[in-house]
Structure 1
Amino acid sequence: MAEPLSPIVSSAWLAAHREDADLVILDASAYMPMERRDGREEFLRARIPGARFLDVDEVADIESDLPHMLPSPARFARQVAALGLHNHQRIVIYDQKGLFSAARGWWLFKVFGHDAVAVLDGGLPKWRAEDGVIEAGEPAPVEVGRFQPAFRASRVRGLGDMLANLKSGSALVLDARSPERYAGTVAEPRPGLRSGHIPGSRSLPFQALLNADHTYKPQAVLQRLFIEQGVGADSDVVVSCGSGLTACVLALGLELAGFSPASVYDGSWSEWGAQPDGVAPLRTGFEP
């Protein structure tokens, strides 16, 4: 088993430990379609030395019509083994935007039973601002690893779970999208989706958890933000967003705040917003 690792690490910590024999650094950058940027191409232009690229659109269920859905345990094991990963290693994940898709990478490893995983607080921008070393070009090849997953079903929810929750109300649903998207006052960035939110869900934009430099706010502030949305010590919390990326920022934030692990609605609005209203109802405006 790998040594324990805090959920987030600083640039200073990573600079001191990045050459540790059991530490692997992953760039899990992903962009929205309208951004017209490619995470892998930018990884080749500038990355933390020794980093490997974790493509969240490939370490995914590629047969699904929905973006970067959770892969099967077997596919996950093959994909991360191809990156040279083993169960005994510690993993630090970052992204090029600061803190956007890195949390999705963190959640993937958590889902498949690997707890020695952390997110670089502030990501590549913070690393560069603190004079961290950068390299470019094709990364050095790695030997295929061996990773044995241990699937945690409690960390993920599907459409059926969310429909059942409309009746039971047993789980508190937090929506990480912008207030405008939650309220349905703007069109969704992905074509063909309805606007609004899952009935009963609460709005907590992922940016509210972050400082201007894309690091997480202090624990006391995170606790207050979640408590204001109804999160308690024993709450069953499900987090959602547009496609399952920034929901994971909330999931990581909940753990940093000291709450129980959340579940991620993997299909998120890409799935819910594509359903007929009779199947998956929606609301607009803000929940009372």
Structure 2
Amino acid sequence: MDGLVTTEWLADSPQILVLDATYSSTVPGSSPRDPRAEFETEHIAGACFLDLDSLIDETSPLPSTMPTIAKIAERLRSLGVDTETQIVVYDNSPHHTACRAWWILRLAGVDVALLDGGMAKWKAEGRPLESGPHNARRGEFEPRAPKAHARSLEEMKTTKEQIADARSATRFTGEEKDPRAEVAAGHIPGSRNIPYPLFFNPDRSWKPLAQIRAVFEDNNIDLARPLVTTCGSGITAAILAFGAHLLGNEAALYDGSWSEWGSRPDTAKALGPA
């Protein structure tokens, strides 16, 4: 299964498990939403609700920190996933949060793909929808070797990897204050700014591979070299990681991202363009 699948492909693949990965709660500037209620009102026919908002480490003081492998595995079993189940994730979010789900599930070695265009494209094409909750049988999923990798604060302090930051240009340069009062403005020294909307067409589908590659290259990222992605809280950083994945670069993700780096007194902060 390819990393990015079309609505046409999914409509013709009834054996695929589809998971709604819409997420809301800690994306700064987002309007209040209830993804579960939205799912029960309307979702892709046959899909299950991943509940990405709760698939986190609830003991962490940082927002949306990645969960343990054990928690990922238990969530998947509760959704009927077996070890060989093929999964497609989608979202109904301007932040393309299915990319975060893609990254989280790959930490447990899951074979998972993204639905290109998500819910918006599926609905625009008049494809089947359902309402109400979806009750799945219990699966027997067991984690495998990870397909995704995280970076810690200590690793980021000494990394020689390229760093790509998915936040807006004004957040990156420090022209705009961070929405979290305890977090400084600016960016990790040496990082490059690639605002995540650059990868998408107006209908929320991904741009062609040549244009995705150009986005990285235009921002001085060499996809032949190791890469780590970052953002505000590790959500949109997964978009950059997915884009790199499509081009053969298995980028790591700094899960603490700027909410961690920018709040620490012992980390250097840069202002202005890269």
TM-score for both structures, normalised by structure 1: 0.90
Q: In the alignment, is residue 280 of structure 1 matched against residue 270 of structure 2? A: no
Contact 2:196–2:239 (CA<8 Å) still a contact in 1?
yes
Counterpart position of 2:253: 264
Pick from 111, 114, 118 the counterpart of residue 119 of structure 1. 114
Q: Where does 1:43-192 land on structure 2 (aligned, <5 Å)?
A: 43-97=39-93, 100-114=96-110, 116-139=111-134, 141-152=135-146, 155-165=149-159, 170-192=160-182
Cα contact 2:7–2:115 (8 A) shared by 1: yes
SS in 1 for 2:155: helix
Distance in 2 between residues matched to 1:163 and 1:137, nearest whole Å: 47
The answer to whether the 8 A contact 1:77-1:148 is kept is yes
CA distance in 1, matches of 2:151, 2:122: 34
Query: What is the RMSD of the two structures over their aligned residues, measured on CA atoms?
Result: 1.6
> Is 2:236 the partner of 1:237?
no
Residues 40 and 191 from structure 1, CA distance in 2 versus in 1: closer, same or farther, beyond 3 angstroms? Answer: farther
CA contact (8 A) 1:57 1:68 kept: yes
Structure 1 residue 255: Cα displacement: 1.6
Number of the residue aligned with 1:28? 21
Larger mean CA deviation between 172-181 and 151-160 belongs to 151-160
AA at the equivalent of 2:17: V
Q: Percent identity, aligned pairs only? A: 37
- The alpha carbon displacement at 1:51 in A equals 0.9
Tell me the SS of whatever aligns to 2:102. helix
Question: Is the partner of 1:131 in helix, strand or coil?
Answer: coil
Which whole-Å CA distance do the structure 1 matches of 2:147 and 2:248 have between them?
18
**Is the Cα–Cα contact under 8 Å of residues 109 and 147 in structure 2 kept in the other structure?**
no
What is the CA–CA distance in structure 2 between the aligned matches of 1:103 and 1:11, rounded to whole Å?
16
Question: What secondary structure does 1:103 align onto?
Answer: helix
What 5-or-longer segments of structure 1 have no aligned partner? none
Deviation at 1:190, TM superposition (A): 3.0
SS in 2 for 1:174: strand
Q: Higher mean Cα deviation, 188-197 or 46-55?
A: 188-197
Post-superposition offset of 1:98: 5.6
- How much has 1:151 moved relative to structure 2? 4.6
Q: Deviations over 1:198-256 (max 9, x none)?
A: 11100001100111111111111111111223333531100001111111111111122
Among candidates 175, 186, 196, match of residue 196 of structure 1: 186
Query: What is the CA deviation profile of residues 109-132 of structure 1, one whole-angstrom value per residue up to 9, with x for unaligned ones?
Result: 222112x21111111011101111
Q: Tell me, in whole angstroms, the C-alpha distance in 2 between the residues paired with 1:283 and 1:61.
A: 29
**Number of equivalences:** 271
Moved over 4 A (4+): none
Is 1:8 the equivalent of 2:8? Answer: no
Q: Alignment partner of 1:271: what SS?
A: helix
Q: Distance in 1 between matches of 2:148 and 2:121?
A: 33
Per the normalisation by structure 2, the TM-score is 0.94
Residue 27 to residue 154, structure 1, CA distance change in 2 (3 Å): closer
Q: What is the aligned counterpart of 1:42 among 38, 59, 62?
A: 38
**In structure 2, what is the Cα distance between the partners aligned to 1:150 and 1:268?**
26
Q: Which runs of 5+ in 2 are unaligned?
A: none
Alpha-carbon distance in 2 for matches of 1:230, 1:152: 28
Aligned counterparts of 2:222 and 2:184: Cα–Cα separation in 1: 31
